[in-house]
Every structure is written in C-alpha cells, then in structure tokens.
Amino acid sequence: MNYCSNCGSEQINFDIPHGDNRARYICHQCNAIHYQNPKMVVGCLPVFEDKILICRRAIEPCYGLWNLPAGYLENNETVEEGAARETWEEARANVKIIKLHCIYNLPHINQVYLHFLAHLKNDRIACGSESLEVKLFDVYDIPWKQLAFSSSKFALEKYIEFKESYQGVHMGTYQAD
C-alpha cells in the first residue's frame, strides 16, 4: 500500500496498531487503519436429474478448464443471492438453493469458498460471458483432470461421497507448499 485511501497521504506504515495483535497498514497522517480481510467466493453445485452442471472457463485464471459456477460475493447481497447470480452469469441457469454444501479455505490467497447444493429449475443452460461451454455431467463423466480449482474438486468429491446421506457442511482447506 503506497497511499492512504482515506486521505491520500504517503505516510503509510505496516505496523501493529495499539490494542491489535497483527500488523496492518496504518496512515500516520489521518490515523486510518486499513484492514485487509479474506474475499468471499460463492457458488453452486447445481444438480438436474442426477447430473451436475459444470462450466468451462472463458477467462483467466485457468482458461479452458472446468469449474463449478462461482465468483466473488458482491456488496449488498446475501451469500445465497451471490451463488445464484454467479450460476446465472456463467451458465444462464436458474437454481433453487437447497443448503450450504461446503466451506473451503484458501488462506494463502485470502479466499473462502462457500458452495451451495442447488437444484436447477429446468435443463435450459447456455454460456454466459465467462464460459466457453456449459454441460450437465453424469458423475462418472466429470473431467477430473481438467478441473480448474481444488475448491470445485473438493465440493464434487464430497457430493459424490455423501450423495445418499446428509452429512452436514463439509469443511476443507488447501495448504499451499
């Protein structure tokens, strides 16, 4: 951080504020403390007649690889609204959110994923601007080696493993080397 977003000053230090327990960017001109917190990524594991909707990415990172529809939560929306919006944006699919399926932590890039189990309201799907292709996959046909992110792999594995019995919310963490 080079400038204070509050006052524009260049008097920024990375230090532990009084009463805190970790270093933060502090403006010594206006005394603003700039907190940086993980970004929330929300998405769906959309199911229609025992098939799972997966999208092939038309954007970086991981252009051309497959992923569950997901993206950053926007201000002024609930996590469920964000997950449904991302599914619409990427696959033009309308979903009914059923339950929180998994929480997946990526501490090395400051992200937390929330994947919701959702039912597609119908089988009408189409590519949104961030997708090259959208497809309903049978669990035996999922392109495992071409999945873009570990968060999607985790969500899909837990869905298949516990499909027949409710096991609560699954929790996972990717630890970077």
* pTM confidence score: 0.88
Same domain, yes or no, for 83 and 111?
Answer: yes
| Sign of the dihedral through C-alpha 124, 76, 101, 59 | positive
Element spanning 156, H or E: helix 150-161
H or E, element range at 114: strand 111-120
pLDDT tens for the chain, residues 1 to 177: 999 999 999 999 999 999 999 999 999 999 999 999 999 999 999 999 999 999 999 999 999 999 999 999 999 999 999 999 999 999 999 999 999 999 999 999 999 999 999 999 999 999 999 999 999 999 999 999 999 999 999 999 999 999 877 778 999 999 877
The reply to whether 17 and 48 lie within a common domain is no
- What residue numbers bound the domain in which 12 lies? 1-36
Pairwise CA distance, residues 93 & 84, whole Å? 9
Distance CA 58, CA 76 (A): 27
Domains in the chain, number: 2
